[in-house]
Amino acid sequence: MTPLISSLAAWRELRSSPAWAGKSVGFVPTMGALHGGHRSLLERARAENERVVLSIFVNPTQFSDPVDLANYPRTLEADVALAGDRVDAVLAPPPEEFYVDGYRYRVTETEFSRRWEGAHRPGHFDGVLTIVLKLLNAVQPARAYFGEKDWQQLQLVRGMVEALFVPVQVVACPTVREPDGLAMSSRNRRLSDLGRKHAAEFPRALRTARDAAAASAYLRVRGFEVDYVEDYQGVRLGAVRIDGVRLIDNVRL
CB 241 within 8 A of CB 247: yes
Which of 233, 227, 248, 253 shows the shortest CA–CA distance to 112?
233
Q: Which amino acid is at 143?
A: R
**Catalytic residue flag (residue 38):** yes
> In sequence order, which ranges of the chain are alpha helices (DSSP H)?
8-15, 36-48, 66-71, 76-83, 95-98, 117-120, 124-139, 151-163, 193-199, 201-208, 212-221
Q: Alpha-carbon distance 56 to 45, whole Å?
A: 16
Smallest CA-to-CA distance from 177 within 149, 197, 151 is with 149
146 CB-contact burial (10 Å; exposed 0-12 / middle 13-18 / buried 19+)? buried
Assign residue 22 a region (left: φ > 0; alpha: ψ between -120 and 50; beta: otherwise).
left
Kindly name the residue from 38, 120, 124, 198 that is annotated as catalytic: 38
Instruction: Catalogue the active-site residues.
Output: 38
